[in-house]
Structure 1
Amino acid sequence: MATPVELGQKFEHEEGRTNSSLSLKQTDHTHRRLKNRHIQLIGIGGVVGTALFVQIGAALAKGGPASLFVAFTLWCFVILAITECTAEMVTWIPISSPFLRFADHFVDEAFGFAAGINFFFFQAVQVPFEVTAVNLLIQFWTEKIPVWAIILIVLTLYLIINVFAVSSYGETEYWLALGKAILAVGLIAFTFVTMLGGNPKHDRYGFRNWDPSSVSGAPFAEYTKDGSLGRFLGFLACLISASYTIAGPEYVSMTAGEAMSPRKTMPRAFSSVFWRLTFFFSIGALCVGIVVPYNDPNLIGAINSPAQNAGASPYVLAMERLGIPVLPHIVNALILTAVFSAGNSYVFIASRTLFGLALEGKAPKQLTYCTKHGVPIYCVFLVLGISCLSFLELGNASEVVLSWFINLVTASQLLNFAVICFTYLRFRDALKAQGISRDSLPYKARWQPYATWIALFLTLLMAFVDGYPVFVNWNVTTFLFSYTMIGVTPVLFLCWKLYHKTKWRSLKEIDFFSAERQVIDEYERSFAISKN
């Protein structure tokens, strides 16, 4: 009897031949080797990093503890809506780079091109940023290690992990993401114990930082303006931070083409990703507002420092304030693994995004080449080539340049969420037009289509709201960094549409990847037989 891995390889190659017979532009020769436990934690691996453990302190300083907690909790419900609609599509059609190819097949070829370029650019630029963060975290201990050596070691490790095989990536990311989960749970436990007096100073500080009558207490802090307007702007700053920090469903979906038994694995992964991320981000935001005052001088100084290493983490600041000697070093080590894991996830997702574009003929066909282990190696090489931007850190203005790249793509994630929502609405309308009951799908999204419409509106709104300070104090550079991708993405859509004369997909003529689904159905049946 063939093993599940052998079956995954066999049917993936058959899928490639079937695709070719349907005149699809390229073939998919990736292998289904990611297990359920891998996928369960990959969604965490891509989004839990410096943003949750370090950079969240900047949002706290602007809005205060209550604004931070409310904003992060509210945005988790937006992510829930996006998770639901993504799950319904991907569990039925678990192919490589799914939601990007859905945008092509369910909306318009030009729409898929614009969405793919936007998402690829967003993921690829994140890699050098995370590599730079690794160096800053190491500087928490020592500055004697050459920067170029750290960058070279990190990029080499990414190359080894992502090139050998899909299973090596899944196994590595599983353990790294597990470390993130342990760190997050440990910091929540640290908050609970110390706030009740379990610290060297025996200080039962509780919710002191939430108490308006205390010196440091202001649950809703004022930001840039006084009074109610200032408190609203503080909350808005926290909501903007949450909208760019909390993600997950898109990372899980990108594993669909390489998941073992996807019809069983993917629904479980989507169901768990929301609750896990809500726990980490919502409870994490609550804890950050407990352990350190929003106006703490050390927090403000660390935020304004050009090198924000682990010393800028609210948790590390709290540990130092409470006189806890060793724990900051342990936390820094775990944050280091979290940042490394985030960069590793970005390499994987960016390479698979580029692979999906190549499969649809929107990138050079050479990028569809896979090794015998099912790795789109040229895509990985290209992403790692872009990651060499991290060597800019060797220059004096490196942090400025890298921050430019990050600021340039801040709107890309929200645009990507909007793409998923709009694609799902078209998917849902096409099912209705063709008389296909949603009850027949492996997973039926809840609260539809209302939840998706709300998520679509809020993601587009936040994409435009992010740069609102520029209209208060006009700055051309800030305006360009805040709104470039919002302008570039429609231009990409129009250029592809006009050049290729593409047409808006007819709801009654949309093909739900029927050939691919047949191959996946047969693979699922054979997989079940092999397990028995």
Structure 2
Amino acid sequence: MGFIVYLVMCGLGEMATWLPRSSGFTGYAVRFCDPALGFALGYTYWFKYIIVTPNQLTAGSLVIQYWISGDRVNPGVWITVFLVLIICINYFGVGFFGEFEFWLSSFKVVVILGLILLSFILMLGGGPDGDRKGFRYWKDPGAFNWYIEDSSAGRFYAFWATLVSATFAYLGTELVGVTVGEAQNPRRTIPRAIKLTFYRILVFYVLSVLLVGTLVPYNSQDLEDANSQDTSSAASPFVLAISLAGIPVLPHILNACILLFVFSAANSDLYIATRTIYGLAKEGKAPKILTTTDRRGVPYVALILCASIACIAYMACASGSKTVFSYFVQLTTIFGLLSWISLLVTHICFVKAREAQQIPKSELAYTAPFGVYGSYFALFWCIVVAFTKSFDVFTGGKFDHKTFITSYLGIPLYLILIFGYKFATKCKRVLPHEADLYTGKDKIDREEAAYLAYKEAKRAAQGKSQNQANWFYRTFISWLF
């Protein structure tokens, strides 16, 4: 899944560096592929973020139940506290929003790197228990568990269930496509961000999961007990690995960090949801009232709408936080996959348009390393995952209609948006030789030239030691953050 995400990012990077647009990737779909696809992509992306916001609020209530059970304090109390805080930050604190998120994201990176280092030390027997685990659990009970049934098919089910679950973890990586229009010198910064995505996936995702897999066996009774509880986040394998190693207090500190990260995610998700529907309204694809802003430019009507929808998190009070969380994960995953599918189709159309208009690769600031074939490969697997992501509702002899609905609701909704828009507007798909690849590009070229001249003048005015310090930071530190 990490490789598929990387291919999605490569395709997005090729379009974003050619024409950095404030409308993000919905604008690319409209200009290079089909206005109906741009409409569907815009709303699909908005659906994803209005669902992932209550998902994070529910997750926050789950994390707090590590200390205070839902029987003592209703999860709705914590959901209310989080919701009020993120609404206040999005309305009153939008001025320091970027700074707040930058430092919080930097803190996340430090914590993740600390977890990776700690996991490596515990694996080598550096914990209080002195147990040198190595890859012991890969032999007994084994690296792979079975799922649904204990057979070869069951081991494949386990693998596939894990793969589609990993999709949820990678959602949001494509967010660079939304911010590209606001980046300084995007033709340098975006390719750098895309290239570093590959290393971030390897380090932050793959390496951390590899290490925690050596510390917690899949048949751990503690893991089973924690996972079977409807109101506990003790099933975090990192928290469990630290507990099993006999380290006191640290599990509580780590859980507090997780709570902070969940709050940060809910905060930024509400921001993106608000700006996405505001952008659709500005393009005339949503009610005009959603374009209303206050004197500071905050789209408060759009914020009220998105915050109101986030109140579906209160379902956790009736159905249990863990159950509702899983429903939100299913919905978010399908909307995220549909967004990736739309992006990949748009990149394929962009490449066809570029070739039809005889624009050589040498004119591109960034070229996807796997080209259009990488997008075809990723598109195929995204479609396969979208249709098979909840295969387990059809197995085991019992049909789970609730999971089926939340897992696949996005697909008919996506098709209704595309064909409904085509029917209402009579729009036609964009032919490769007619695609608009140049409108607005001259302005961006001038801005880029002016920015580069300014940076060169600034570099010349600075001393040699300061330039060396900047080079050291850019080369060895900044990529992490």
Identical-residue share of aligned pairs (%): 39
Q: d(CA) in 1 for partners of 2:358 and 2:342? A: 24
Q: CA deviation at 1:152?
A: 3.5
Across the aligned residues of Structure 1 and Structure 2, the Cα RMSD in angstroms comes to 2.3
CA distance in 2: counterparts of 1:507 and 1:500, whole angstroms: 21
Quick check: 1:288 aligned with 2:200? no
Partner amino acid, structure 2, of 1:128: P
Instruction: For 1:354 and 1:442, locate their aligned partners in 2 and report how far apart those are by CA, in whole Å.
Output: 30
Helix, strand or coil: the match of 2:427? Answer: coil
The residue that corresponds to 2:431 in the other structure is 506
Q: Counterparts of 2:191 and 2:49 in 1: how far apart (Å)?
A: 24
Whole-Å Cα distance in 1 between the matches of residues 298 and 196 of structure 2?
27
Give the equivalent residue in structure 2 for 1:11. Answer: none
Matched, 1:181 2:109: yes
Once residues 210 and 464 of structure 1 are traced to their aligned partners in structure 2, the CA distance between those partners, rounded to angstroms, is 31
Distance 1:129 1:478 in 2: 15
Which of 155, 162, 165 is 1:238 aligned to?
Answer: 162
1:407-422 to structure 2, matched below 5 A, reads 407-422=330-345
Give the 3 Å change call, closer, same or farther, for CA 297–398 of structure 1 in structure 2: closer
Corresponding residue number in structure 1 for 2:82: 154
Q: Does the 8 A contact of 1:97 with 1:353 survive in 2?
A: no
By how many angstroms is 1:338 displaced?
1.4
Instruction: For structure 2, list consecutive stretches of 5 or more residues without a partner in the other structure.
Output: 458-481
Q: Which moved more, 1:345-354 or 1:86-95?
A: 345-354
Q: Residue deviations 1:213-249, cap 9 Å, x none?
A: x3xx211222222332222111111111122322444
Taking the aligned partners of 2:315 and 2:144, their CA distance within structure 1 comes to 39
Q: Normalising to structure 2: TM-score of the pair?
A: 0.87
**Corresponding residue for residue 361 of structure 2:** 438
Alignment match, 1:121: 47
Match of 1:45? none
Shift of 1:194: 1.2
Aligned counterparts of 2:93 and 2:439: Cα–Cα separation in 1 = 28
Secondary structure at the counterpart of residue 448 of structure 2: helix
Matches within 5 A, 1:186-225: 186-211=114-139, 214=140, 217-225=141-149
The aligned residue for residue 330 of structure 1 is 253
Offset of residue 123 of structure 1: 1.2
Q: What does residue range 69-88 of structure 1 map to in structure 2 within 5 Å?
A: 75-88=1-14
CA contact (8 A) 2:344 2:376 kept: yes
> Higher mean Cα deviation, 417-426 or 254-263?
254-263
Segments of 5+ residues of structure 1 without an aligned counterpart are: 1-74
Deviations 1:411-470 (A, max 9, x none): 111111111111000011111111222321221111111111100000000001112122
TM superposition shift of 1:86: 0.5
**Could you tell me whether the CA contact under 8 Å between 1:165 and 1:373 is conserved in 2?**
no
* Cα offset, 1:476, TM superposition: 3.2
State yes or no: 1:259 paired with 2:187. Answer: no
Separation in structure 2 between the aligned mates of residue 377 and residue 436 of structure 1, nearest angstrom: 43
Report what 1:305 is aligned to. 229
- Classify the secondary structure of the residue corresponding to 2:276: helix
- Structure 1 residues 362 and 284, CA, compared in 2 at 3 Å: closer, same or farther? same
1:135 paired to 2:61 = yes
Partners of 1:105 and 1:150 in 2: CA distance: 44
Report the counterpart of residue 460 of structure 2 in structure 1.
none
Give the letter aligned to residue 481 of structure 1.
Answer: T
Aligned equivalent of 1:492? 417
Match in the other structure for 1:524:
448
Evaluate the alpha carbon distance shift between residue 314 and residue 393 of structure 1 in structure 2; reply closer, same or farther with a 3 A threshold.
same
Match of 2:100 in 1: 172
Question: How many Å separate the matches in 2 of 1:261 and 1:158?
Answer: 31
Contact 2:20-2:181 at 8 Å conserved across structures: yes
Q: Secondary structure at the match of 2:21?
A: coil
**In the superposition, relative to structure 1, how do residues 97 and 336 fare at CA in structure 2: closer, same or farther (>3 Å)?**
farther
Which amino acid in 2 is paired with 1:290?
Answer: T
Rate the CA distance shift 1:391–1:480 in 2: closer, same or farther, 3 A.
closer
Post-superposition shift, 1:404? 3.3
Instruction: Give, as a single letter, the amino acid of the residue that structure 2 aligns with 1:499.
Output: A
Q: Which amino acid aligns with 2:285?
A: K
Contact 2:230 2:320 survives alignment (8 Å): no
Mapped partners of 2:209, 2:94: distance in 1: 34
Runs of 4+ in 1 over 6 A off after TM superposition: none
- Aligned residue for 1:274? 198
Question: Are 2:238 and 1:315 equivalent residues in the alignment?
Answer: yes
Change (3 A) 1:231 1:394: closer
Shift of 1:410: 2.8
Distance in 2 of aligned mates of 1:480 and 1:300? 27
Residues 18-48 of structure 1: per-residue CA shift (max 9 Å, x gap) = xxxxxxxxxxxxxxxxxxxxxxxxxxxxxxx
Distance 1:374 1:201 in 2: 56
**Alpha-carbon distance, 1:359 to partner:** 3.4
Residues 247-284 of structure 1: CA deviation (Å, up to 9, x unaligned): 44411211112223323322222222232132111012
Contact 1:179–1:337 (Cα < 8 Å) also in 2: no
Distance 1:395 1:247, change over 3 A: closer
Provide, for residues 89-120 of structure 1, a one-character-per-residue CA deviation record: whole Å limited to 9, x for no partner. 11222222411221122221111111221111
1:425 aligns with 2:348: yes
Q: 1:385 to 1:513 in 2, by over 3 A?
A: farther
Q: Is the 8 A contact 2:341 2:382 kept in 1?
A: yes
The equivalent residue for 2:470 is none
The CA deviation at 1:498 is 0.9
TM-superposed deviation, 1:145: 6.5
In structure 2, distance between residues paired with 1:371 and 1:437? 45
For residues 147 and 21 of structure 2, what CA distance do their matches in structure 1 show? 45
Contact 1:354 1:363 in 2 (8 A): yes
Query: Alpha-carbon deviation of 1:131?
Result: 1.3
State how far apart, in whole Å, the 1-side matches of 2:401 and 2:74 are. 36
Residues 161 and 172 in structure 1, CA contact (< 8 A), matched pair in contact too = no
Residue aligned with 2:333, SS: coil
Structure 1 residue 375: Cα displacement: 4.2
Give the distance between the partners of 2:327 and 2:135, measured in 1 at CA: 37
Q: State the distance in 2 between where 1:97 and 1:114 align.
A: 14
Amino acid paired to 2:109: A
Deviation at 1:477, TM superposition (A): 3.1
Residue in structure 1 matching 2:302, options 379, 384, 403: 379
Q: State how 1:92-107 maps to structure 2 within 5 Å.
A: 92-107=18-33
Amino acid corresponding to residue 78 of structure 2 in structure 1: I
